[in-house]
């Protein structure tokens, strides 16, 4: 275990705040300067977070880079940060996507650039904080803090129904999380009764050995909070609204990182703290995941708006993550984590691609396009690559994740595996059919004849994602190795039951 | 004779004396022509409040834990509990005065009575916090209420303000009647109005189920419940909050509510602990009703003062949750919450006062459209207060709710806590409505809705900055405050 006195996690978490401070001092008329400061802050955040990967010791499941100082000692609340193999990749994904997301809305947002960039950076702080926190209250604070900037991003810079979408997003998420707060408090006093220590330290709640009926209710409360965030069927209705209305960067972050907080929550809290309930809930969660996979895919097929299609595809993909996780074997869980990263990359990229089309034509209806390949050949090939990654074609990252998840699911039960495979086929259907209608054929609309191919900035934010799409697809070992010890330890805790 | 002299300990009421002195000075200053229609009264009363704060803070006894000092033959008590409440009242008064100066200038009403009445009301609240005896507490309530009746109708040319004052006065005196009747019944059955005396009597005399005593307790609950605005005694709140001048609404929503809670907690925890079985279920129901009715009716309000009136009802409900979870955590939770509430609510009202403009013409949610474009900083700070009221971290409102609900769960009120947190989700909707209006409407439609220039005077800015700093520091660095609150825990027998 590497011990460092340098508080690297705090630096990564609060670096965006420094950027906000600088932006606050810039006159709001200097749009370009504000954009550059925000972008450079996010890039700096990514480069500061890179050493985490190299210095991370993958042989141990113990938390690393730990910072632990009292915050509110009267309640036993600590400022406790640390990461393990599960959160490491998610933090890197966050810093990576944040930088690219800022680049992707360079020209799309022209009003209130200052507030927009401040919101994006604040969001980054919240997200990294969620993945680093090892204290319940600290976690909860970051979890909720992140809501405000996302709410503003959707509500101020979003599409025509943005207010509805933003308020729905906020209230939906909040109603899940307040019940989680009640469960956390309940757990806190339960822990006090059995150990005599007031603490909100998440790790000390592992192996608490709660009676199974209490585990049931607590699991349910946490389940609600996380299932809304994932979102699992039938709590997914906020997602299409939020995605369709959000500006491109908002969608990228929402799909890429925010949804992962739900799945991350399951891994960090539900599984290790309520192992008995986890096992009991497996049939229900598997069912909901399968419904999500198939339902999400079917609804995607029926969409005539590209962005909505991608949004519903997220419901389907996150269903895979949940399926793999609750297969409760090493392949499934590892597949689930890698699939979280994959989904962040490929769906993030899909939203960026939709954003590129939207910036050119200001519509997202599939019927408005057709034959785009003729005018934007490079764009077409990259789009196809990203679509392949999203449907899990071998050689791309999606394949690795889905394969592992399917292995896990088949190991758990053949039925789950078979049904999940149906979802894979449907995934190919909606993506390829959409691709066909948008890109192939003749140009039917005059407005599409003048479209320009991708510009330098667009390459700059799409190419890095594509590099990772192929890298994970071809050689996923460096990523999978990092999470090995943590996942094994996690499963050990669950399987003790 | 000497015996009597020793119990009259004037140093125990120095803060009250100072405030009374200053209010008299202000009244006298009025007779000088050169002082008229100037802001001097406001600044003089500020000095008075600040010196009272200094006296409360630096009383010779220091902040020893569990320090209690009775004086005036046991009618008056100074303990950390009452001192903490006095600081809350003085904070509320301070912020109100800062807001009022500009408001009175706009209304051309820079009279001294206004500030004198505010100071008198504050003295009343302080008496309520320090009263160790029902009659003393009653005197405090009356002093506070009568000053507030007058202040509510202070903008006398405005019809709505007159209506509010009359309503408040009639209903208020009715509620006072209940309170007095309750005190009379208690006196009749226990032979004393002393809080400790009642508690000793109830503990020793084996008459716990006695109808008279329970009746007396219920009548006191009604009387104080009216002042706190608990459902179903809340009917006056929306009208009065809407009609009163905005700074007075701010004042009423923080200080007097806290004062009523101070008396309520002291009476119920100190005098009726043996009757806990009788009031627990009742207060459970009242808490649920107060939270739910307040939040649900607030959902459909367009007038922002009215909306915050209902929200303040709901907040009283949250505090009742902590009250039910009696014990150290619950009571310190109440103190923490009231402090936070003072900051966030007065802060919000300070902005409402500024945005309302002359004659309070712009107090609908619709009028806030586009504020975020024209005055981004004002809009951001307003959102901070609203998010805090909604209980979203990292604000004081979140820590306050966290404190209250953790106390409730500790005592096993899980159902109540779940109702409470779901209520706070409901409340998010109407607080968000204001932020939606401020930030999220098209800038095109906003241009049609011309926003007049806002004037920020230094006093207003100071008030807003104090409130904002309070809300943020209570949310991000709460441990220092928690330490103070813990020392101010009500000492129970």
The secondary structure of A411-464, three-state, reads: HHCHHHHHHHHHHHHHHHHHHHHHHHHHHCCCCCCHHHHHCCCCCHHHHHHHHH
Residue A430 has pLDDT above 60, yes or no: yes
Cβ neighbours of residue A211 closer than 8 Å, sequence gap 6 or more: none
Q: What is the mean pLDDT of chain B?
A: 87
Confidence band of B62 (pLDDT split at 50, 70, 90): low
Whether A340 has a pLDDT exceeding 50, the answer reads yes
Per-residue pLDDT, B208: 57
Q: A124, A71, A89, A165: which is closest to A468 by C-alpha?
A: A89
pLDDT at A438: 87
Q: Which residues of A touch B392 (CB under 8 A)?
A: 144-145, 147-148, 174
| Strand residue runs (E) in B14-83 | 68-71, 76-79
For position B493, what pLDDT does the model report? 45
**Within-domain flag for A135:** yes
- Whether residue B486 lies within 8 A of chain A, CB to CB, comes out as yes
Give yes or no for B357 touching A (CB within 8 A). Answer: no
CA B172 to chain centre: 16
Give the model confidence (pLDDT) of A25-46 as tens digits: 888 888 888 888 989 999 999 9
Mean pLDDT, rounded, for B300-328 = 91
Among B159, B297, B318, B153, which Cα is nearest to B230's? Answer: B318
Residue B447 binned pLDDT confidence (cut-offs 50, 70, 90): low
User: How far is residue A441's CA from residue B29's CA, in Å, rounded to a whole number?
Assistant: 88
pLDDT at B252: 92
A2 part of a folded domain: no
**Residues whose CB falls within 8 Å of the CB of residue A446, separated by 6 or more in sequence, listed in order:** none
Residues of A in contact with B414 (CB under 8 A): 182, 186
- Distances from the Cα of A362 to the Cαs of A450, A462, B270, in angstroms? 14, 20, 68
How many domains does one find in chain A? Answer: 1
Q: Is the pLDDT of residue A351 over 70?
A: yes
> What would the mean pLDDT of B9-27 be, rounded to a whole number?
89
Distance of CA B394 to the CA centre of its chain: 23
B418: pLDDT strictly greater than 70:
yes
The percentage of residues in chain B with a pLDDT greater than 70, rounded to a whole number, is: 92
Q: Are B454 and B386 in contact (CB under 8 A)?
A: no
Residue A3 domain-assigned (yes or no): no
Tell me what percent of the residues of chain A surpass a pLDDT of 70. Answer: 99
B414 and A163: CB-CB below 8 Å?
Answer: no
Q: What's residue B491's pLDDT?
A: 64
Rounded mean pLDDT of A423-432? 89
Q: How many residues does chain B have?
A: 493
Structure tokens at B342: 């003072």
CA geometry: angle A42, A45, A46, nearest 5 deg: 95
- A144 CB within 8 Å of a chain B CB: yes
Res. B28: pLDDT tops 60: yes
Residue A1 within any structural domain of the chain: no
- In the prediction, which pLDDT does B37 show? 61
Domain annotation covers residue A391: yes
CA distance B427 to chain A (A): 10
CB burial of residue B192 (10 Å; 0-12, 13-18, 19+): middle
- Cβ-based contacts of B417 with chain A (< 8 Å): 182, 185
Q: Which pLDDT belongs to residue A491?
A: 87
* Residues B247/B99, Cβ–Cβ less than 8 Å: yes
B377's tokens: 């900083």
| Tokens read off for A48 | 């500061």
Q: Using an 8 Å Cβ cutoff, are B385 and B434 in contact?
A: no
- Which pLDDT score is estimated for B224? 93
Residue in A with minimal Cα distance to B478: A72
Q: Which residues of A83-117 are buried (b: 16+ CB within 10 A; e: fewer)?
A: bbbbbbbbbbbbbbbbbbbbbbbbeebeebbbbbb
Residue B156's pLDDT band, with cuts at 50, 70 and 90, is: confident
pLDDT, one tens digit per residue, over A173-232 is 898 889 999 999 998 888 888 888 888 888 888 877 788 888 899 999 999 999 998 888
Reply yes or no on whether the pLDDT at B5 is more than 60.
no
Q: Is the pLDDT of residue B63 over 70?
A: no
Closest listed residue to residue A398, CA positions, set A472, A337, A330, A329: A472
CA distance B93 to chain A (A): 29
**What is the rounded CA–CA span in Å between residue B280 and residue B329?**
17
User: Averaged over B65-92, what is the pLDDT?
Assistant: 86
Chain A residues touching B400 at Cβ < 8 A: none
Res. B207: pLDDT tops 70: no
Question: In the structure, what pLDDT confidence band is assigned to residue B112 with cuts at 50, 70 and 90?
Answer: confident
pLDDT tens-place string over residues B425-445: 999 999 998 988 888 887 666
| Per-residue model confidence (pLDDT) at position B12 | 83
Sorted by where each begins, the domain ranges of chain B are 2-487
Residues 6+ apart with CB under 8 A from B37: B108, B110
Query: Which residues in chain A are contacts of B393 at CB distance < 8 A?
Result: 140-141, 144-145
What DSSP designation does B453 have? P
Q: Residue A184: closest CA among chain B residues belongs to which residue? A: B406
Average pLDDT for B375-384: 90
* Among chain B residues, CA nearest to A70: B479
Q: What is the pLDDT of residue B106?
A: 83
Separation in Å, CA of A324 to nearest CA in chain B: 32
A133 compared with A444, residue with greater pLDDT: A133
Domain that holds residue A432: 8-495
- Answer yes or no: do B421 and A170 touch at CB < 8 A: no
Token duo for residue B58: 């630096």
Per residue in A293-332, pLDDT (tens digit) is 999 999 999 988 888 999 999 999 999 999 999 988 888 9
């Amino acid at each position: 275990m590497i011990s460092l006195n340098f508080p690297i996690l705090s630096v990564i978490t609060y670096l965006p705040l420094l950027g906000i401070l600088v932006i606050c001092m810039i006159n709001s008329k200097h749009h370009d300067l504000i954009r550059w400061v925000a972008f450079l802050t996010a890039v700096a955040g990514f480069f500061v977070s890179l050493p985490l990967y190299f210095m991370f010791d993958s042989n141990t499941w113990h938390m690393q880079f730990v910072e632990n100082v009292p915050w509110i000692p009267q309640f036993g609340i600590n400022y406790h940060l640390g990461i393990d193999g599960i959160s490491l990749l998610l933090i890197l994904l966050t810093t990576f996507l944040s930088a690219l997301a800022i680049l992707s809305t360079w020209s799309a947002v022209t009003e209130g650039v200052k507030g927009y960039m401040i919101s994006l950076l604040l969001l980054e702080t919240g997200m990294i904080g969620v993945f680093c926190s090892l204290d319940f209250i600290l976690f909860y604070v970051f979890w909720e803090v992140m809501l405000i900037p996302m709410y503003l991003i959707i509500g101020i810079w979003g599409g025509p129904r943005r207010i509805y979408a933003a308020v729905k997003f906020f209230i939906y998420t909040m109603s899940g999380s307040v019940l989680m707060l009640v469960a956390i408090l309940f757990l806190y006093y339960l822990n006090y009764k059995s150990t005599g220590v007031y603490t909100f330290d998440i790790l000390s709640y592992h192996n608490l050995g709660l009676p199974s009926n209490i585990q049931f209710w607590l699991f349910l409360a946490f389940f609600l909070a996380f299932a809304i965030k994932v979102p699992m069927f039938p709590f997914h209705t906020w997602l299409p609204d939020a995605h369709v209305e959000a500006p491109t960067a908002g969608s990228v972050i929402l799909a890429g990182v925010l949804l992962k907080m739900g799945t991350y929550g399951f891994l960090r809290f539900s599984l290790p703290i309520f192992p008995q309930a986890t096992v009991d809930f497996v049939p229900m969660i598997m069912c909901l995941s399968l419904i999500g996979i198939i339902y999400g895919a079917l609804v995607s097929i029926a969409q005539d708006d590209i962005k909505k299609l991608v949004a519903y595809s997220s419901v389907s993909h996150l269903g895979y993550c949940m399926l793999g996780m609750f297969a409760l074997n090493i392949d499934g869980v590892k597949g689930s984590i890698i699939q979280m990263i994959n989904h962040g990359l490929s769906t993030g990229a899909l939203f960026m691609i939709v954003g590129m089309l939207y910036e050119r034509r200001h519509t997202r209806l599939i019927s408005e396009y057709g034959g785009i390949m003729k005018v934007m050949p490079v764009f077409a090939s990259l789009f196809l690559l990203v679509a392949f990654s999203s449907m899990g074609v071998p050689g791309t990252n999606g394949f690795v994740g889905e394969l592992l998840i399917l292995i896990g699911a088949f190991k758990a039960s053949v039925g789950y595996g078979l049904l999940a495979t149906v979802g894979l086929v449907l995934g190919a259907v909606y993506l390829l059919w959409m691709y066909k209608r948008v890109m192939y054929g003749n140009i039917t609309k005059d407005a599409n004849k003048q479209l320009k191919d991708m510009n330098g900035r667009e390459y700059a934010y799409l190419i890095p994602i594509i590099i990772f799409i192929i890298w994970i697809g071809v050689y996923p070992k460096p990523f999978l190795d990092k999470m090995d010890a943590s996942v094994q330890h996690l499963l050990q805790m669950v399987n003790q039951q | 004779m000497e015996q009597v002299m020793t119990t009259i300990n004037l140093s125990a009421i120095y803060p009250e004396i100072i405030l009374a002195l200053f209010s008299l000075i202000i009244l006298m200053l009025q007779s000088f022509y050169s002082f008229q229609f100037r802001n001097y009264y406001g600044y003089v009363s500020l000095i008075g409040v600040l010196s009272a704060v200094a006296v409360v803070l630096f009383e010779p006894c220091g902040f020893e834990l569990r320090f209690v000092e009775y004086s005036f033959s046991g009618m008056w008590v100074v303990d950390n509990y009452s001192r903490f409440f006095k600081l809350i009242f003085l904070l509320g008064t301070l912020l109100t005065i800062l807001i009022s100066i500009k408001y009175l200038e706009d209304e051309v009403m820079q009279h001294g009575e206004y500030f004198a009445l505010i100071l008198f009301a504050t003295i009343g609240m302080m008496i309520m916090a320090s009263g160790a005896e029902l009659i003393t507490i009653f005197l405090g309530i009356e002093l506070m209420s009568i000053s507030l009746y007058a202040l509510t109708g202070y903008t006398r040319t405005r019809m709505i303000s007159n209506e509010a004052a009359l309503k408040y006065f009639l209903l208020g005196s009715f509620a006072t009647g209940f309170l007095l009747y309750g005190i009379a019944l208690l006196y009749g059955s226990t032979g004393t109005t002393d809080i400790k005396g009642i508690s000793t009597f109830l503990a020793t005399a084996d008459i716990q189920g006695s109808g008279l005593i329970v009746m007396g307790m219920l009548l006191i609950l009604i009387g104080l419940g009216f002042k706190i605005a608990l459902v179903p005694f809340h009917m006056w709140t929306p009208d009065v909050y809407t009609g009163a001048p905005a700074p007075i609404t701010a004042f009423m929503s923080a200080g007097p509510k806290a004062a009523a809670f101070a008396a309520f907690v002291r009476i119920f925890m100190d005098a009726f602990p043996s009757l806990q079985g009788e009031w627990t279920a009742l207060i459970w129901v009242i808490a649920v009703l107060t939270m739910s009715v307040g939040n649900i009716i607030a959902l459909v309000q367009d007038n922002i003062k009215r909306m915050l009136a209902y929200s303040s009802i709901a907040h009283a409900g949250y505090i009742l949750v902590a009250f039910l979870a009696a014990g150290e955590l619950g009571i310190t939770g109440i103190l923490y919450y009231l402090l936070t509430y003072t900051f966030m609510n007065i802060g919000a009202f300070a902005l409402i006062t500024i945005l309302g403009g002359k004659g309070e013409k712009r107090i609908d949610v619709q009028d806030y459209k586009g504020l975020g474009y024209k005055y981004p900083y004002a809009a951001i700070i307003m959102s901070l207060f609203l998010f805090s009221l909604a209980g979203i971290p990292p604000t004081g409102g979140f820590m306050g709710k966290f404190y209250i609900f953790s106390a409730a769960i500790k005592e096993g009120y899980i159902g109540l806590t779940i109702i409470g947190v779901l209520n706070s989700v409901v409340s998010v909707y109407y607080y968000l409505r204001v932020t939606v209006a401020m930030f999220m409407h098209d800038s095109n439609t906003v241009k049609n809705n011309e926003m007049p220039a806002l004037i920020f005077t230094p006093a207003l800015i100071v008030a807003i900055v104090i409130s904002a700093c309070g809300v943020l520091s209570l949310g991000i660095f709460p441990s220092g405050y928690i330490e103070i609150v813990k020392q101010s825990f009500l000492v129970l027998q």
